Structure 1
Amino acid sequence: MNAEIMDTISESFVTVVPLLKKKLFRTFPIDNMPYQLSRSNLEVLFALYESRTSTVSELSNLMHISRPNMTPLVDKLVQHELVDRRTSNEDRRVIQIRITDAGDRLCKEMHERLMNQIKSKLDSLEHDDLIELQKCMVSLKSIALKINA
């Protein structure tokens, strides 16, 4: 029984997550983005916003981007002083990438813009659909927090 339930849930995630990404996030306008950052730059910045500090290898693994492709993404963020590089206190060979105050401010601004875009997309839904979606999102968030990473 659990195997069938997990199959259904897994299939739903494989279908729903890309659909939500396409409908809500990929349409986010980045044309007038400060610093002319790409979507990939923003994804790296948001990953650092959540983790606060990371290595290039950790970011590469987390985002499924090769280290050689990750380096220029980080370089551009360093160039705009949104993140900085620091030598690890534990091991001088390890370079930590850390979000700066400017990076924090930009993430908060982008978060607000994204929230407004999602609200405008949800505006097309009926009240009953919004209520149902709200309930589902609260449940999904609660359950997702219980999943082991």
Structure 2
Amino acid sequence: MAELKSASDRQKAVDSYLRAANVGAVTLVLFSIFDFYDTVYGPADLDSALSIVLLVCVVAFLWAMVHLFRHRDADEFTLALWHSGVTAAFIALIVWALFGNMITGLYWGLTADVQATESAEMQMVDYWTAPVCIAAFFVAFHIKRFRGH
């Protein structure tokens, strides 16, 4: 990272970093709402307006993740935020890999889904791996951010 010239430049870098974190979290929530809508109402026939909103969300999310990665060392606080988020995402990945099948089996048992098969269970675990890890990242990131430690 290039040396920042003054405290105001440093503060601008931190503000930009935190703004990117907010954008990433909001787009993750929007993706979750869209996925819930898609699950409840079946495969959605996207009209042009919703397609554009979804495309904007994808671009914003990708920008946010790239910005968070490239500017994670803007100062010590942002680096600590990054580390807490990445640690939580890694732990979520390990837990999901170990217990994801049990969680989906429990879900299907509680909802009495008799058509559930082993391959469908694995597809569900594979489908939810990235969202679970990214959600864990942003939850830990913002908990650390708002607690201030």
Give TM-score scaled by structure 1 length. 0.28
Give TM-score scaled by structure 2 length. 0.28
Query: Larger % of helix: which?
Result: 2
Determine which structure has greater relative contact order: mean sequence separation of CA pairs < 8 Å that are 6+ residues apart, divided by chain length: 2
Query: Larger % of strand: which?
Result: 1
